[in-house]
Amino acid sequence: MSGNPLIKVTGLHKIYGDFHALDGVSIQIEKGEVVVIIGPSGSGKSTFLRSLNLLEVPSLGTIEFEGVNITDEKVDINVHRQKMGMVFQHFNLFPHMTVMRNLTLGPMKLLKMSKKEAEANALELLERVGLADRANTYPSMLSGGQKQRIAIVRALAMKPDVMLFDEPTSALDPEMVGEVLEVMQKLAGEGMTMVVVTHEMGFAKEAASRVIFMDEGKMIEENTPAEFFAHPKTDRCRDFLSKVLI
C-alpha cells in the first residue's frame, strides 16, 4: 500500500433528481495533508465531504480509502468509518449522554476498549482541549464552542486516520470561533490528515497545505494557500474571494 494516497476519489458524481450536486470530482489526498475546501453555498463542497465517508452515497465514481474501494457495495463501510472522524456544523453531540459517555461510546462498542481504558483515553483528549472538568456534564450545559471542541475529541477518540470537518465554525457565535480553530490548528500541526469545508479564510491561509475552490459541483481551482489567495487563476474564484476577503 505504500505510495498510495490515503484517499483517492475518481470521477465522483452526485445527482439529486435533476440537480447535479457533484459533477465529476477527482482528487487524491495524501497522508498528513490539510485540504481546505472553499466555495459558495450550493457549490457541492459539503456534499463532497459527506461523500468521503458515504453519508452521501455517490451516484457515480469511486472513493478509495487506504487502498480499499469503499464505494463497492460489498465493503462494510462501518469498519472504514471508524477510521474517518467527522465533525459537523451543528456538533450533533448525543444530548442524553454525559460528555464522557459521548467520548467513550464509540471506543467501547467498536474498538472493544474496556471502560477504564476508554475513559482514561477520553480524559486525556478532554485535557488537550481544556475541558477535562466538563467530563460529567451533559451537552445542554455547554457553550457552542465547548460543544464543538467535544465533538472534535469525540471523533479523535476513535483514533481516526483522517478527520473530516463540515463547516465546523459556521454555527458558532463569533467569539467562539477562535477556540475551535485553535484546536483544529493544533491538530493540523500534529500531522493529522484533515479535509475541511469552511468559510474561515484565515484558517485556510495558516493551516492548509492545499486549498481547493469548488463551484457548481466541480473543483475549479486548487493551489497552495499562498498562491491561491495571492494569485487566483479563474474569474469565478477571484470573484468569490473578492466577496469573502474584505
Partner 1 sequence: MDEITAWFNGIKEDFILNFIQGDRWKLLANGLLATLKITFFAALLGIAIGIIIAAVRSSHDKNADKLKGVGGFILKLFNGIAKVYLTVIRGTPTVVQLLIMYFIIFASSNDKLLIAILSFGINSGAYVAEIFRSGIMAVDEGQNEAGRSLGLNYFQTMIYIIVPQAFKTVLPALANEFIVLLKETSVAGYVGMMDLTRAGDMIRGVTFSAFMPLIAVAFIYLIMVLILTKLVSLLERRLRSSER
β-bridge pairing 34-38 and 193-197: parallel
Which stretch, 21-29, 88-96, 173-181, 184-192, contacts partner 1 (CB under 8 A)?
88-96
Using the rule CB under 8 A, which residue among 78, 174, 190, 231 binds partner 1? 78
Under rule CB under 8 A, residue 51 binds partner 1: no
Q: In angstroms, what CA-CA distances link 134 with 18, 41, 151?
A: 47, 34, 13
Least CB distance from residue 59 to partner 1, whole Å? 11
Using the rule CB under 8 A, which residue among 15, 55, 75, 100 binds partner 1? 55
Least CB distance from residue 33 to partner 1, whole Å? 20
Binding marks (x or -) toward partner 1, 137..176, rule CB under 8 A? Answer: -x-xx---------x--xx--x------------------
SS3 (DSSP) at 225: helix
Least CB distance from residue 164 to partner 1, whole Å? 8
SS3 (DSSP) at 21: strand
Under rule CB under 8 A, residue 84 binds partner 1: yes
Q: Are 22 and 12 in contact (CB under 8 A)?
A: yes
Under rule CB under 8 A, residue 7 binds partner 1: no
Q: In angstroms, what CA-CA distances link 56 with 25, 97, 165?
A: 14, 27, 15
Neighbours of 72 (CB within 10 A): 11
Which stretch, 51-59, 118-126, 200-208, 218-226, contacts partner 1 (CB under 8 A)?
51-59
Q: In angstroms, what CA-CA distances link 14 with 10, 45, 216, 218?
A: 12, 12, 12, 11
Under rule CB under 8 A, residue 47 binds partner 1: no
Question: Cell numbers 477504564 label which residue?
Answer: 116
Residues of this chain that interact with partner 1 (CB under 8 A) are 53, 55, 57, 78-82, 84-86, 88, 90, 92-96, 105-106, 109-110, 138, 140-141, 151, 154-155, 158
